[in-house]
Structures are given as C-alpha cells and as structure tokens.
C-alpha cells in the first residue's frame, strides 16, 4: 500500500478516536487536522511548479500557503507537554485512564512525525537539482522552528499570519528574546536529527 493511503487511513482512524477521547485532549482533533493538511499540499506542490511565466503567481500563492501551514506538522511534537495533566505515579500501578490517554497522545505525535517524514521525502525529490532540494528543506526547517515558537508561546494560529501580519510581527519581536532563540534552535536540531534518522533507516538494506 502506498504511503499516502496509509497516512489517510491513519488520519481517519485518529480523528475518529478524538470523538470518545477528547475529554483531556480536546485540542487533538484540530491539531491532527492542521498537521495533516501540509501532507496533502506537498502531494500537489510538484504540479504547481511553473513552466511558463503566467503560472508563477499561482505557484507563489500555493507555496506561501504551504510554508505558513507546514509548521503545524512538527508542532505536534510539543503537544507532549500535555502529558503533565496526569501524575503517572508508578508506585500506584498502571492506571488505565492515564496510559490510555498517553497512548492516544503519543499516537498522534508519531503520526505527525510520519507525515513530516513523508513531506520531506517529497521535498527532497521536488526538483532534479538535489542541492536546491536540500536548500528548500533547510529553509523550511528554520521557518518551521519559528512557526512552532509562535504557535506554542504566542498561541497563534496560521490564519493570523494572513489577517493580522503586522500585529504578529510586533508580538514576535517582543517575545523573541534569548530564550526564544534557544527554543527555535532546539526545534531546528530536533527536525534535523529526525530527518537524519529517517534517512538512515531508508538507506538500510
């Protein structure tokens, strides 16, 4: 089965699970949806690569939408902080509710990482110039890290970048101190490490 169909089946199953399991993690449905959209967009990206001059405006619009929404995929990794809602006191044994929600949340994060791997594999084969493809991925790692910072600490959704760009820029400049830069660097390191590991797995014969 092709990876795109595996991703779509997993997405539907996880979205269905959000219905009975949204008591503690009521953000999961939205976050899963936002994490999934970039995957479908990257499947279409190659079709929008312009071959004639009049096709460039449409490509630029599509590419900007993709860049703005892509951080939502790796953003789900930071959702692991919500595990602090439970005590996980191992001295009282395994409490089914805690570990059920643990499995649910981690499943969502693993799914997002799966999508992130597929997206980058597509990007690394976007053009016939490998160096250019790697530059694209590097650029997106940086924008992803900034986007994750904005979403986690400014609590901003992607749509705000469209209807409130100046306010977003002001808020980012206000909050982006040394600790914010450190967070962005850490997110970039995590993405690079993950892609190296994925690439290593793909090379194993």
Domains of the chain: total: 1
| pTM of the shown model | 0.90
Give the model's pLDDT for residue 14: 96
pLDDT digits (tens, 9 = 90+) for 12-21: 999 999 988 8
Domain that holds residue 52: 3-203
Query: Per residue of the chain (205 residues), what is the pLDDT tens digit?
Result: 789 999 999 999 999 999 888 777 888 999 999 999 999 999 999 889 898 888 899 999 999 999 999 999 999 999 999 888 877 777 777 888 888 889 999 999 999 999 999 999 999 999 999 999 999 999 999 999 999 998 888 766 665 565 566 666 666 666 678 888 999 999 999 999 999 999 877 655 4
Cβ atoms 165, 173 nearer than 8 A: no
Cβ atoms 32, 57 nearer than 8 A: no
Cβ atoms 19, 28 nearer than 8 A: no
pLDDT digits (tens, 9 = 90+) for 92-124: 778 888 888 899 999 999 999 999 999 999 999
């Amino acid at each position: 089965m092709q990876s795109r169909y595996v991703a779509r089946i997993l997405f539907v199953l996880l979205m269905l699970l959000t219905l009975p399991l949204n008591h503690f993690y009521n953000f999961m449905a939205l976050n899963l949806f936002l994490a999934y959209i970039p995957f479908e967009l990257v499947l279409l990206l190659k079709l929008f690569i312009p071959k004639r001059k009049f096709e460039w405006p449409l490509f630029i619009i599509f590419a900007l939408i993709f860049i703005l929404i892509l951080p939502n995929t790796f953003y789900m990794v930071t959702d692991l902080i919500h595990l602090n809602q439970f005590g996980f006191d191992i001295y009282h044994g395994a409490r089914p509710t805690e570990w059920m929600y643990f499995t649910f949340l981690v499943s969502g994060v693993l799914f997002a990482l799966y999508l992130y791997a597929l997206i980058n594999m597509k990007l690394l084969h976007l053009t016939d110039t490998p160096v250019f493809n790697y530059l694209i991925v590097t650029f997106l790692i940086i924008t992803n890290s900034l986007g994750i910072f904005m979403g986690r600490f400014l609590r901003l959704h992607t749509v705000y970048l469209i209807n409130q760009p100046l306010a977003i820029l002001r808020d980012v400049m206000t909050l982006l101190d040394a600790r914010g830069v450190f967070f962005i660097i850490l997110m970039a390191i995590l993405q690079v490490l993950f892609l190296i590991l994925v690439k290593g797995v793909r090379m194993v014969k």
